[in-house]
Chain A
Amino acid sequence: MCIMRQGHKEELMEFSEHIKTANVEDVVLHQPLHPPSRGTLCITGHHLLFSDREENSTRQILLLLRNIDAIEKSVENLLGYSSLFSKADYSKRISGSSGTITVKCKDLRVLQLDIPGMEQCLNIAHSIETLSCLNDVSEMYPFFYRPSDLSSQDQWGLSSSEKYYSEHKELHKRWRLSSVNRDYSVCPSYPPAVIVPKDIDDDTLKKVAKFRQSGRFPVLCYYHRKNGMVIMRGGQPLTGANRKRCREDELLLQAVIDSSDKGYIIDTRSSQQVQQARMTGGGFESKSSYSCWKRLHRQMEKGKALQESLIKLVEACGDESQNMDRWLSKLENSKWLSHVQTALSTAGLLAECVERDGHSVLVHGSEGTDCTLLVSTLAQLIMDPCCRTLEGFLALLEREWVQAGHPFQLRCAHSAYSHVRLQQESPVFLLLLDCVWQLWRQFPLALGFSEALLLRLATEAYFSNYGTFLCNNDQERCALGVKEKTYCLFHSLLKPTEKEHYTNPLYEPTDLAIWPSVHPQSLQLWRGFFLRWTPQTRHLEEAQEEIRNMVIEWGKVALS
């Protein structure tokens, strides 16, 4: 058990109350793309470990318990069937019973474990059920993970508002870095530093924060170098049923644009939805109060509807029937590709406002922690070549998702297989990655990273050795000491040994905007993710390897 390092003794002590059976011999593992194998199953506080018993092979499979989304168990008493087994078999199973645990993972893998002994089987199942959904973040594996090739002294993270501000000198004339949120008291889900108009002081910001949902006052998230226009994002204004106004909020938005100019507000809800939102204290920027801003509504699905869409799609992909009509109707019915289409077209609209029409844009929905981030991230990828490199993309994700307060802990608690009653789960981040994949398919030379990166991120957000996606916001991460006690995923992805795998060998930087097509014919199911564990995916991976080899070969010859 070479994986166990220091720290694990302590870990084992802590979780031992949940582990009644730690080892079982003679377990048969069924997993996709491999023949069944017999070996030893071992459960620890954070892992399932299966060691193959075949001679000459020391194959081990290590599964993070956090990866397990759901299990199904069936036990049966075999005594009644004992005559069916040969003598040898019978004596092996003299305990008289066995059980099967089907393990459904968040990376969409489905494994099956045949475990001799009903009691052992039930114990293992119980341990998995308990340990796979521990709620205490500080007990999660990233706090125990100690990789040998990363030093905890390394700087944590790649980017921040401060860094973005210092890298964009053009900003300094009209924008400033505010630390009004240094103790997270103005907006708990924002980072300590944010970029705001120079003319707006911290007191004004505090008042604006009271007028925006969750204190999410509009902040700058993107500066378009070509024309000086910006993307702002925030929460909805709390106008309520009485059409309340906030002079400071109006001032802030006015400061974003010159007095002669106008701006766009992209609201990720429909116009009916925003009217309804007023009844519960939310609302929108009315024409009369914000005369220089033009509102555009694009209804985007989020929350439960999106989670159900994912569940339906995964269910459709697992349908074994050979019926084409049924597949197409299930695919349609899941609506997942419709969500992809809406997200990309809303992002296209945003980019169009900034790049083509030359206007600044404020994006928000209700809270501004989900679809808002989705749209602003995609628009930046469309317009800004700096976001399209491997490092640039990871930095973008760090600013726009991790630091901007996308509640990963709530959204990614469970995935498509879970039987647990849905709470705040929603695959917004997965939808982002799918949209980026669509961009990558349409512009295979324009993005510096590979599909492998998107696949890795799609799983890391749900279960990870690293602390990057832990917690819901910066404040929570700070309180738990995530940056001191865990390792940073982004740094690990950029290690020289890993980096090659995650770069796109065909990458040719371009300064042009990459406008995606959103025609239904142009959008495809992300097979690499949703059908990852089918043999067909292997052929496509081979083609990717072939492409990489060709580029390497070309590079070699060109250099010689």
Chain B
Amino acid sequence: MEFIRLPKVENVKLLDRVSPRRSRVGTLYLTATHTIFVENEAGVRNETWVLHSLVCSLEKQAATSSGYPLLIHCKNFQVLHFAIPREQECQDVHLSLQRLSQPESYEELYCFSYKPNVDDEERQNEWDFMNLKADYSRMGLPNAHWKLSPANRNYKVSDTYPADLFVPESATPPVIVGSSKFRSRGRFPTLSYYSKENHAAICRSSQPLSGFSARCLEDEQMLEAILRSNPCSDFMYVVDTRPKLNAIANRAAGKGYENEDNYSNIKFQFIGIENIHVMRNSQQKMLEVCELRSPSMSDFLEGLESSGWLKHIKAVLDAGIFITKAVAEEGVSVLVHCSDGWDRTAQVCSVACVLLDPYYRTLQGLMVLIEKDWISFGHKFSHRCNHLVGDPKEVSPVIDQFLECVWQLMEQFPCAFEFNERFLITIHSHIYSCQYGNFIDLNLLPSTHSLWSYLWTNRTDYINPLYRPDHSQTQGLLRPSTAPYCFKFWRGLYNRFDQGIHPRQSVEDYLRTIQEETQQLEEQLASHKQSPTASGLILLPQDLNQTSIFSLSNSSDPESGIADLSCRSPLSEDSTRDPDSDEAVYSAA
């Protein structure tokens, strides 16, 4: 609270980027956790809430006729443009928010002050909801080829690895320890996914400390053991997800990649996904394009091209497909690494899992996958998502790219995923919001709440009504095309808060309604067959507020819901209100 210089400013304008006419006047409040804008209009209580932890940058601009502009960019891609009447007020808000949005210690994170009305026992249950061991036993592990290793029980071998790890049956503790000493951050090769149909496995690690000529017998034995744990195959792939030049450069620092001559029966392959810095800049460029005031089609397409973003998404998906084909079609095991093995490796392994196994395309499966390949294997959420004030060069949208790959796949296979776009967007928001303890790399979890349990409790909001477990699209392997024209710009995420841009009616909401209604009617029919049912049914009225994506950090403005169903009821008076945004566009074009 001591950081709040000014708790309340009146007569603040919230400007609308797309159409200036929709700008609103109201009061701005700063609280310990949120910035809240309350619109002045009589009769309506229209509030916009922004969590401090979602703020990613603040920008003061030169004064205009409407006041002193303060631009707030959020990590969920919301952009708020305030105009504050007096310079001093603007200065105070700016300084307060600057401090509030950059916590310096873990204790300041929102998850420690977020206290929903839940008792301790229930909260403990929330954390027990996620059980990775269950996923490994779903894969059929442990078995004759793979065993649970106690080597990292106390996080001594690798402090960024989970305690429970699966290694080849023949990998002895000395081999594990020896191999770990030859790998960056001790991240030795270990299992990520096992295909019980053909024994092929996806393993992951960090880069070997090979330099120009160094060798390590235990590391070579480790790979040999992985190869032997797949009785059907006489070689394995080692995939380095970096561009070859980057890997070669690492050799000078005593790191590098596997020499095919030293490891028996490996096929070595570079994949060429760019590093975190390239990805950060690329997303930044793309976001600049999204924020153009009234871009022409050419401005937009040229900007999208020069950002390179979709090219990078394609690279990640292509890498996932390479691994999927090796495992499913060739029956060959794959070891994946990059430098530290927690960014590109996490992306590629988890994309491959989504392609390989229909389970990871279910609601529960995707949560398990993120827990397994990202959280448990030490993706540095705090650095990458900038949870605490830190080095801006460590920030990178690595997890965004994974979520986008899943979205691109959903666009290609509309019936194959149990969850909807809203699910991905909600996960994305909460990775950045720090409302839940899942993405905080610290052992303070028990006093926080778990996102997974929240999502599971509210799962009806996240179900894709077109999902059919028995549909041909759902079965087995996904075989996406990665022809460039298959990739789309993800408007739903990057322009999520620009209301005028989205479809005005939602097929998904409509289908959900008739699905619920069909179920209800079927139940009614089953329970009392004699009673007459109304034959002329009207769709259940939709509560617009229900469509708002998540409870606290989102604007409570009912118009911000994904779907605008105003057109569904001819009596609604919304007809002149909603389209306002376009008026300027037609005339400006």
Contacts and interface: CB of A to CB of B under 8 A. Distances in A.
Contacts of A554: 514-515, 517-518
B466 A543 contact: yes
Interface stretch (A13-21, A180-188, A449-457, A528-536): A528-536
Interface stretch (B50-58, B125-133, B198-206, B299-307): B299-307
Contact of B535 (A342, A534, A559): A559
B579 A325 contact: no
11 contacts: A329-B305, A348-B586, A349-B586, A356-B583, A444-B503, A516-B582, A517-B581, A522-B502, A535-B481, A550-B465, A554-B515
Contacts of B232: none
A557 B518 contact: yes
Given A324-B311, A345-B586, A560-B525, A512 B481 contact: no
A197 B17 CA distance: 44
Interface in B14-54: 18
Nearest to B515: A550
B63 interface: no
B466 A515 contact: no
B415 interface: yes
A546 B415 contact: yes
Interface string B423-459: 0000000000000000000000000000000000000
Contacts of B134: none
A527 B511 CA distance: 23
A427 to B, nearest CB: 17
Contact of B503 (A324, A443, A559): A443
A531 B473 CA distance: 19
Contacts of A514: 504, 567
Contacts of A550: 465, 511, 514-515, 518
A-B pairs with lowest CB-CB distance, top 10: A327-B484, A520-B300, A515-B579, A543-B414, A332-B301, A328-B305, A348-B586, A324-B311, A338-B297, A345-B589
Interface in B489-528: 489, 491, 495, 498, 500-507, 510-511, 514-515, 517-518, 521-522, 525
A513 to B, nearest CB: 7
Given A443-B567, A546-B466, A338 B514 contact: no
A349 B575 CA distance: 16
A550 B510 CA distance: 11
A512 B570 contact: yes
Contacts of A241: none
A97 B295 CA distance: 57
B465 A517 contact: no
Contacts of A409: none
Interface in A435-449: 441-446
Contacts of A322: 314, 482-484
B525 A445 contact: no
A328 B304 contact: yes
A286 to B, nearest CB: 22
Given A317-B485, A551-B514, A560-B533, A443 B301 contact: no
Interface in B468-491: 468, 471-473, 481-489, 491
B587 interface: yes
Majority SS of interface residues in chain A? helix
A242 interface: no
Contact of B505 (A445, A527, A540): A445
B466 A517 contact: no
B415 A325 contact: no
A338 B298 contact: yes
A225 to B, nearest CB: 14
B568 interface: yes
Nearest to B309: A324
A428 B553 CA distance: 47
A510 B481 contact: no
A543 B514 contact: no
B414 A521 contact: no
Contact of A519 (B506, B525, B570, B585): B585
A33 interface: no
A442 B205 CA distance: 45
A341 interface: yes
A519 B314 CA distance: 24
Contact of A442 (B310, B472, B484, B503): B503
Interface string B145-188: 00000000000000000000000000000000000000000000
A340 B300 CA distance: 14
B290 interface: yes
Nearest to B533: A560
B259 interface: no
Nearest to A519: B501
A533 to B, nearest CB: 13
A318 to B, nearest CB: 10
Interface string A216-227: 000000000000
A534 B483 contact: yes
Contacts of B503: 441-444, 522
A258 interface: no
Interface string A26-51: 00000000000000000000000000
Contacts of B311: 324-325
A558 interface: yes
Nearest to A510: B567
Given A322-B484, A341-B589, A445-B510, A520 B297 contact: yes
A522 B491 contact: yes
Contact of A445 (B290, B296, B500, B567): B567
B554 interface: no
A460 to B, nearest CB: 25
Interface in B533-589: 533, 535, 537, 539, 566-568, 570, 572, 575-576, 578-579, 581-583, 585-587, 589
A170 interface: no
B263 interface: no
A526 to B, nearest CB: 12
B268 interface: no
Contacts of A367: none
Interface string A333-347: 001011011100110
Contact of A443 (B413, B485, B505, B535): B505
B250 interface: no
A324 B582 contact: no
Contact of A325 (B305, B518, B566, B587): B305
A328 to B, nearest CB: 4
Interface centre among B415, B483, B506 (most CB of A within 10 A): B483
B412 interface: yes
Contacts of A337: 297, 301
Contacts of B583: 352, 356
Contacts of A446: 505, 567
Given A337-B297, A520-B299, A531 B514 contact: no
Contacts of B510: 444-445, 506, 508
Contacts of B498: 519, 521
B570 to A, nearest CB: 5
Interface string A495-511: 00000000000101111
A337 B301 CA distance: 10
